[in-house]
Every structure is written in structure tokens, then in C-alpha cells.
Structure 1
Amino acid sequence: MRKLLFVVILFFVLPMCYAQSVQEEYIKKYCQIAVEEMSRTGVPASITLAQGILESGSGTSMLSIKGNNHFGIKCHSDWTGSRMYSDDDAKNECFRMYPNAAESFRDHSDFLRKNQRYASLFQLDPKDYKGWATGLKKAGYATSPTYATRLIEIIENYGLAQYDSGTFVPESIDVPALVADAVTSDTKPTRYYSSNGFELSMTEYSLGSNNNTQYIILKYDMDIEVLSRKLGMAPWQLPKYNDLPKDYKVKAGELIYLKPKRSKAEKKYTEHVVVRGETMRDISQKYAVKISSLYKMNGWEQGVQPVEGSRVRLR
């Protein structure tokens, strides 16, 4: 009888332990991007994390695994990106696909921020997670009648409100998925720095994406060689991607791309009017477009700098 009781306990308790571990790992992995999105758009980090846990099954759902879609956002008429199809409220519904998880988190914030039916939520105190949870359900984010209650339970069970306070400072992380996706594995025969992974403290930097190109912004000056070592990248990568000398010192607040820039700008940017003192590199960094592509598009010789008031084609 005692052995049977032990087996029964294991049967029910082990899955709970596993689930809790999966959820805690998910929080650890994505808390930073949630906090950054709160700073960028005003969506509470606790709500973002709770929705991610609930909608993606803590990153285990088919949508999140195959499509990096952590929030169950459907295509809608304005979506021009990649798509995947899955049964939901109806059969074979269209869902958005993303190149990485970070893009899913950013699109989730933008989806809420730009959609009029969620506008009233941004009048709430960012720390009012209960108001946000209730408002999301009321606005029709999900059809489940218990959606708000489940979000609140997740937030309170895992202490997610701490991420809304602005005082939470994580210790460090090991190669976050957002950066791991961004760091390219070029095959040039060259020496790579020996690294145990992403060694920067989360208090030292912020991450973002411009023209579908990941970048990092440091909070204090650092030699580009040291930054490369901390990122576990080859010593030539950052200088090449950002058109910088190998002995360059990255300044606090400066945008540094983590992978090659694109061959043309986003569709909404067709040309750039040059301001005084602006160089081709400045324009290249601003729109995440390779300098070589800018010269080619504009029919200019390499090295020529634009004059104030001139127009530079971006695509």
C-alpha cells in the first residue's frame, strides 16, 4: 500500500515539477525582452510574460516551435510576413511566423499598441496587471471566459509583477535566444574568441532590431575587440558589419549591429535627405543598409560622401 501511494504521488507530482521548471526557464529566458518592450511601448512586462506562458505553453506549442509565434497572433489583413496554418477557433487558421522569438515579442507589443481596441489599456497604470488582464479579455484578445483569471494567476504564482517595478535587475544570462539568433555563424577560415557564451550582464546593454537586423547598445564605452570576445564572435565580424576599424572603441549609446546589414531599407523608407556633416556610414547605420548597396543604388563611386540637401536612394 505504501509503495502504491508513493507511485501515485510520483505520477501526479513529477509532471507538476516539470511544468514549473519549464515555466521558470521561460521567464528566465524572456524576462529581459519583456522589460525592454515595457520600456519601449508601455505593455507591462508581467502581462507579456504571462501571455507568452499561456499562449505558447511556455514555448512548447507548435506555433512557438515552428513559427516563433509566442502569442497566438493571427495574420489579419495587414500581415505581409511569413505564415503558418493551424486549427484554432476555426480549422486551418492563418498565424504569423517570425524569424526568431524576439520578433514575436516586439510584434506582440506593437499589435497591442497600434490596435485601437486596446487603446484604453494604455491609460492604466503599468503596474495594474489585473486591469490589463481584464482589459485584454474584454477587448477580445482571447475567447476563453477564464483568460483574465488565468493571466492573473500566472503573474501572482511566479511573481511576475516584479518586472513591472523598474527595480528588478537580473544577475546575468547565458546566450539569450534573442542574441543567439542574431549572431551569425560565418564560415570564413578565421580565429574565434574562446568564450563561455554571452558574458555581458543584462545591466550593461539593451537589444533591438532595425530593418530586421539585430543590434546591441552598450551602456558604457568598450573596445570592439572586448565586445566581440564577450559575444563569442569572430574578431572581424563586428567591425565588418558596422564598417569600423578593428581597434575601434564602442561608445555608450552607440548602435552596433550583430549581423550583416540589408541590401535595401524597409519599404516605408525610399530615400534620405542628407543633413550637414552626415556621412554614408551614418546613413548606412541609420537604416541598416550596407554601404556598398547604397553606393550601387545611387551610382556613386566608393568613398564619395553626400552633400547637405542631396537625396540618397535607400531601395
Structure 2
Amino acid sequence: MQRRFRRFKKKMNQRFQNFLNLLALLFKLGFTLLLLFFVALFLISRPLNIFSDFFVNHSEETVEIGRLSEDEFIQRVEPTAKEVEQTHGVRPSLLIAQAALESDWGNSGLSKESNNYFGIKGSNGREYATKEYYEDEWENIQTSFKQYNSMEESIIDYANLIDNGTSWDANFYKEVKEAGDYKEAAYALQEAGYATDPDYASKLIHIIEKYHLYEMDH
């Protein structure tokens, strides 16, 4: 009888020990799975931020790398500016200064996305945010600007505007063309209402004189 009892006790102890081992194994397995779950969760969410940061930084670097310097911009515009001086009678100095001012030296969204270097508006164009000066203060507005296939196309359209005027007045910019020098031309452009900025003419003159653009005029 005692032998049987000892055997039974031994068997029960063994089963209990097996049960404890199973519990320990399940605990380790559960802990491992929980750990893997959190690791997977981290890896799923974190790379999105990493890649997002990468593309944002890469995009910013691309913008900086692709940004034109003032001298590079002048070199790009100069050949076409000299051509339209012969064909349309528009001063290269004024044209380049306007293109620089209106397009932030070819770096504005309007010039990069729509090849619009002179801020020329158009009802069938693309809308952009801009500022207009009304009643002694600047106002932020959304308006439609023309789109062009190239910088050269934008320059020619501008030259046509100065040479041929508007649809309602062919002589709208006549005084700009007939001005004796770049200063008179800049003020005539402002008087005609090309831009609402009260300092528009002085800004153009500053650019022309800083980069000696008047030397291109004939």
C-alpha cells in the first residue's frame, strides 16, 4: 500500500513539475510575443517618420540646390531680353529688373511652376496667393495668373504687352517705351499701374543700378 502511495505521489509530483514547466514556458512565450508586438509596432510607425523626414529634408536640399543666384538669373534672361529689344523696343534693363522682382530671381512658385516671370494675370490660368497694396495697406489675395511653356514665352508675352498695350488701350504703356532712360521707364510703368506696390519704380531702379543692367540698353 505504501509503495503504491509513494508511486502515486511521485507521479503527481512529476505531473505538477511538468505543469510548472509548462507555465514557465507559456510565460516566456507570452513575454516574447508581447515584446515582439511592441518591436513590430515601433518598426511600423518609426520608418514612416524616418522616410518622411528624409523626403522633407531632401526636398528642402533640392530647392536650395536648384535656387538660382542673381547673376545666373541675369545670364538666363539676357539673350531673350536683347532679342525683344530689337523686335519690340523694350529696354533689357527694365525687363530683367521686372523679371527679377516679380519672380524673386526665378525662384518663386509662379515662375517655377507656370513659367510666369512678370506676374501677368490671366482668367484661364492657375491661382496663386499674392499681395496687393490698397488704401495704404497690403492685402493677401488669391488670383489667377497666366501659364507659359517656357521662360522665353513669358518674356515675349510681356514684351507684347509693353509694345502693344492692353486689349482696351493700345497705348497703355506708350510712355514706358518712349521714356528717355530706365528711370523714366520705371516710373512710367508704375504710373500706368503695372503693380500696386508704391515703391515699385524705386525697387526696379535699385536692381538696374546694382547689377549695371543699364549697360545693356541701346
**What corresponds to 2:101 in structure 1?**
54
**How many Å apart are 1:29 and its aligned residue?**
1.1
Q: Percent identity?
A: 35
**What corresponds to 1:135 in structure 2?**
188
Aligned residue for 1:58, secondary structure, equals coil
Q: Does 1:22 align with 2:64?
A: no
Q: Does 1:112 align with 2:162?
A: yes
In the alignment, structure 1 segments of 5+ residues that lack a partner are 1-17, 77-81, 166-315
Contact 2:179–2:188 (CA under 8 A) maintained in structure 1: no
**How many Å apart are 1:53 and its aligned residue?**
0.5
Aligned length: 140
More helix as a share of residues:
2
Work out the CA distance in 1 between the residues paired with 2:179 and 2:186: 11
Aligned residue for 2:205, secondary structure, equals helix
Amino acid at match of 1:96: K
In the alignment, structure 2 segments of 5+ residues that lack a partner are 1-64, 133-139, 166-170
Equivalence map 1:231-242=2 (5 Å): none
Aligned residue for 1:92, secondary structure, equals strand
**How many Å apart are 1:112 and its aligned residue?**
1.4
Aligned residue for 1:117, secondary structure, equals coil
2:150 to 72, 82, 100: 100
Q: Does 1:83 align with 2:125?
A: yes
Work out the CA distance in 2 between the residues paired with 1:105 and 1:92: 23
1:66 to 79, 96, 113: 113
Contact 2:175–2:185 (CA under 8 A) maintained in structure 1: no
Contact 2:119–2:145 (CA under 8 A) maintained in structure 1: yes
Q: Which has the higher contact order (CA 8 A, sep 6+)?
A: 2
Aligned residue for 1:98, secondary structure, equals coil
From the CA coordinates, give the structure whose radius of gyration is larger. Answer: 2
Contact 2:176–2:185 (CA under 8 A) maintained in structure 1: yes
TM-score (norm 2): 0.61
1:7-29 CA distance string (max 9 Å, x none) = xxxxxxxxxxx9xx711110011
1:119-141 CA distance string (max 9 Å, x none) = 2222223xx00000000111101
1:272-295 CA distance string (max 9 Å, x none) = xxxxxxxxxxxxxxxxxxxxxxxx
2:82 to 17, 29, 35: 35
Amino acid at match of 1:84: R
Work out the CA distance in 2 between the residues paired with 1:83 and 1:110: 18
* Two-structure CA RMSD over aligned residues (Å): 1.9
Amino acid at match of 2:142: N
TM-score (norm 1): 0.43
Q: Does 1:124 align with 2:174?
A: no
